[in-house]
Amino acid sequence: MIMLLGGTKDAREIIALISEKRYPLLVTTATEYGGSLIPDNSGCDVLIKRMTVQDMETIIQEKAIRIVVDATHPYAVDVSKNAMLASRNRNIPYLRYQRNESAYEKYNDMLVTVDSMEAAAKYLTTAEGNILLTTGSKSLDIFTRKLSKQRLYPRVLPTAEVLKKCEALGLNVGNIIAMQGPFPKNMNIEIIKMYDIDILVTKDSGDIGGTLNKLEAAKQCGCKVILVKRPAVDYQNIFESKEDLICKVSEFYEKVLSDHG
């Protein structure tokens, strides 16, 4: 069986490609929401759980996992590190699909790049105006601790769990933008205008994650952008092409089948 660490649009596309091969597949996601996006007809097993290294090793052993494919978000650092270690400990291949970074050089005049969410929040304490946070709900508390909640307009997933977190952090109901992305440029423009946004905060989630659409919208609206760079992770066996990844998965899996008769 193959284990795919998912929860992203990339992962769903890879699931479809592996399903065409009819290889047995276990897909893991950290959240119920991520699991709900996997099509019912994908033919894979789904496990919803935040996993430690030990959890992964147990699953690798119990499910006879032969290959681990990591298609998690570029900022999901912990799960990737756990997967690499668990794969090494169990002596099975680890393959990483890494979406391309955005080409944002032409936006340098309106762009401030920082290394972390904490650095973004610190920078914002020296700036004025309304802030559109498009960095997800996980890091919201970093911003609410340092900045006036009246300035913050977080765009988050419209799930009960996320909205409850926003409420617990004291965010104004009228400031919460609960929508599922990624968003086209024109929708970003309308949101920037509607909430009188001066600064947009984003991750570099690549084109598939809507980063360029945010940058284009901000540029058109004269809005400054704070971009939190991707964490530096020493990934193993990186693939930037889904097709190349699937070829390598097939190569490994067919060898496993051959070796086991």
pLDDT in tens, 95-112: 999 877 767 778 888 999
Spell out the residues 6+ positions from residue 226 whose beta carbon is closer than 8 angstroms to its own.
112, 113, 114, 120, 123, 124, 199, 200, 201, 202
CA atoms of 81 and 53, how far apart (whole Å) = 9
Sign of CA dihedral 145, 146, 148, 149: negative
Cis bond upstream, residue 154 (ω within 30): no
* Structural domain 105-228, CATH architecture: 3-Layer(aba) Sandwich (3.40)
| Percent of residues, the chain, with pLDDT higher than 70 | 98
More confident residue, 16 or 101: 16
* pLDDT of 261 strictly over 60: no
Domains 2-100+232-259 and 105-228 share a fold: yes
pTM: predicted TM-score of the whole model, two decimal places: 0.79
CA atoms of 187 and 213, how far apart (whole Å) = 9
* Domain 2-100+232-259 part of CATH 3.40.50.720: yes
Q: Return the domain boundaries, the chain.
A: 2-100+232-259, 105-228
Express each pLDDT in 80-139 by its tens digit.
999 999 999 999 999 999 877 767 778 888 999 999 999 999 999 999 999 999 998 989
